Amino acid sequence: MILNQYENTLIKNDKLPSSWQSQKDLDELNDFLQKNWEQRSVFYDDSEITSKQQFLAFTGQKGLRTRNYIGTIVYRGEQLNIYPKMFRMDIDDHETGELNQKHLMNNLIRWLEYCNRSEYPFITISSELKDAEDLKELFITLYIGYVKSALEKSLYYQYVDETNDCRSIKGKLNIRDYITGKIPSGNGNLFQCTYSKFEFDNCLNRVIKYTCKQIFNMTSQKNQKALRGILTKLDEVSFTPCTPFDCEKIRLGSVHKSYRIILSMSKMFLLNQLSGYKMDTYESFCFLFPTEMLFEGFIGGFMQEVIGEYGGRVHLQQSDMHLIEDVIYNGESLGAAFTMRHDILVEMNGSIFVLDTKYKQVSRFEGNPDEVMKIVTEEPKQTDIYQVCEYARKCNISDVYLLYPMFRYEENEPAFPVGKSKSEQGTIRVHFVRLPFVFEEDGMHTKKMLRKVILDIFDIREDGGKSI
């Protein structure tokens, strides 16, 4: 059974696959998701500090509620695809029958190409990832891409301690063994020594080899061919069963940074195996991303590319200011409190612009003035507006922007509303802007639309001059 749902929607128990409906089944599913939740930092750092999994909410008799994570959960052979709410045609659209996993995958790849908060090398292997038939295949392709890249750059060698009897002193001599063992036995010409040997057959390479063997039968012929090449390079490495605990014992220095993600991904594969979720048939699999991070990262990365062409500078995720600069207690300074973070700060032609991405559904800014006024006053959160206005006042900035995603297949709006907030420092203009986010089959169309909106924001013409 394949079940398609949007994020932040309720799935009633009677709509769930039969193997997910009992309380025992749901408890085991929750346990499976918890293990994946604990490993999510392999791919991204979200803002959730809780140790309890946030992928799905288990609501007892009501069923399951999806949250702000998108992707695929495969459990006991049943599949739940969770799509961004912006895949809807409009706010009232809840139809999921036309959704397909390939569309979701293609969008994930495009977003992550620009998202610098993820650990993926999508820019270098995005063409290979687009051939993947499902998210499991994408995941394996990604792992193979990392391993191939690392092995091509430099093979991993490690100093391994060995203890042997030697005819000359090598490394550290075991004096006690020599005095109490070798001399009394007439073997004074032998020395028990511990020394380091630079080995290719080490723990990390064994983990990689074992993981590659485990995923071999789970993937496409194309990936199997790539895996054969990897295993050939690791031919001298011993084939030893490995566990996630073996991964935890390995310590990598800064010079081997490229192997860190490989080790973490290996741990995830091996963790699934240890947990009893069958890897050979891949009955269970979890691949989920926080949509807020994707939207923020994609827009920020895309804006860096576009604005950079015109000499502008884009800064992401800066938090150098506080709402309260200092807390005083009994005459003692305790420091600042309440960090004021903006998503994007742009320096352009001597001006500074503050932009905050808000992954919220906002209606189209179109129609009569009363309708637009209703959208502006009711749909954005007041706290969002307070935050950007206060930041602007502290930095003496005149223009701030709240950026919202558009639904799929929407065309750019002809105009966006601007709110004015007056203060002693001057007038702050709050711009409400909706941006293309969902890629259609023709990805270039979405890029062109997004590029146009960004250039309009900063009053830039394609020829480098100012727009009229």
Q: What is the pTM of this model?
A: 0.77
Contacts of 285 by beta carbon, 8 Å cutoff, 6+ apart: 72, 73, 74, 75, 135, 136, 139, 272
pLDDT at site 273? 59
Burial 31-43 (b: 16+ CB within 10 A, else e): ebbebbbebbebb
pLDDT at site 85? 94
Contacts of 461 by beta carbon, 8 Å cutoff, 6+ apart: 455, 467
How much is the CA Rg of the chain, to the nearest whole Å? 28
Long-range contacts of 462-465 (CB under 8 A, 24+ apart): 464/310
Q: What is the 3-state secondary structure (H, E, C) of 130-198?
A: CCCCCHHHHHHHHHHHHHHHHHHHCCCCEEEEEEEEECCCCCEECHHHHHHHHCCCCCCCCEEEEEEEE
pLDDT at site 268? 75
Residue boundaries of the structural domains of the chain: 2-155+209-289, 158-199, 309-457
Below-50 pLDDT ranges, the chain: 123, 274-282, 467-468
